[in-house]
């Protein structure tokens, strides 16, 4: 498929998420986010699940702008912590988006467990695609692995220095971006969104030629 890039507004002000999604989609999409739209409101994430929060953001923003809006809510679930930080991942330590504080709190909670064994965990991502105040579809991706009690690596963002995906020895923060993006929770949810768009074509929802070439895989 060729032609002009399709516009896709991400309902986020997190530049790291935007960069990851834009890199995975490639040149077939003109990706923007809410950092370019000071006229649009902050949407309070009051839901108790990833799906609820992603839906809140997608609906609120899509009522105010034309075209397709994609939102996501994602986080780290540690089994030994009963699924925490979970839906509170971005504000685990009390301040939204304070990565250093969130990681410090997670390390503190892990230390209380006193376990020397790898602690099973997963990253989860739920994406919601909406237009004109209507949910078109939602998608769920996850990647299994374990958490470390010592951070390692300087790449990625969020809890990436503490998470080692299944089948690897390096953390998400140590893996090359293209390796992470080929298996991540966000890549897997996004692959489903692109597949859905391929089966529901519209002038604003073309699938880029280079999607599979970018290395993303279906879950």
Catalytic residue among 33, 72, 73, 160: 73
Please confirm, yes or no, whether 73 is among the known catalytic residues: yes
Buried b (16+ CB within 10 A) or exposed e, 96-127: eeebeebbebbeeebeeeeeeeebebbbbbbb
Those residues of the chain that have pLDDT short of 50 are 1-2, 203-219
For 53-103, the pLDDT digits (tens) are: 999 999 999 999 999 999 999 999 999 999 999 999 999 999 988 999 999
What is d(CA 180, CA 23) in angstroms, rounded to the nearest whole number? 12
- The structural domains of the chain, ordered by start, are 6-214 (3.90.950.10)
What's the confidence (pLDDT) of residue 29?
A: 86
What's the confidence (pLDDT) of residue 49?
A: 97
**What global pTM score does this model have?**
0.86
């Amino acid at each position: 498929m060729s032609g002009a890039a399709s516009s896709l507004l991400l309902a986020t002000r997190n530049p790291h998420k935007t960069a990851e999604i834009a890199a995975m989609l490639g040149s077939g999409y003109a990706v923007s986010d809410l950092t370019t739209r000071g006229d649009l409101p902050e949407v309070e994430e009051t839901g108790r699940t990833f799906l609820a929060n992603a839906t809140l953001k997608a609906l609120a923003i899509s009522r105010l702008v034309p075209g397709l809006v994609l939102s996501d809510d994602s986080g780290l679930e540690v089994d030994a912590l009963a699924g925490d930080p979970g839906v509170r991942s971005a504000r685990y330590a009390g301040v939204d988006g304070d990565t250093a504080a969130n990681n410090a709190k997670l390390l503190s909670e892990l230390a209380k467990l006193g376990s020397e064994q790898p602690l099973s965990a997963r990253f989860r991502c739920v994406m919601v695609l909406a237009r004109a105040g209507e949910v078109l579809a939602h998608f769920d991706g996850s990647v299994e692995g374990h958490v470390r009690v010592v951070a390692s690596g300087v790449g990625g963002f969020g809890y990436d220095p503490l998470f080692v995906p299944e089948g690897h020895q390096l953390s998400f923060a140590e893996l090359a971006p293209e390796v992470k993006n080929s298996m991540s929770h966000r890549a897997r949810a996004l692959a489903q969104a692109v597949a859905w768009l391929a089966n529901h074509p519209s002038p604003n929802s073309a699938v880029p030629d280079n999607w599979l070439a970018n290395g993303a895989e279906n879950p």
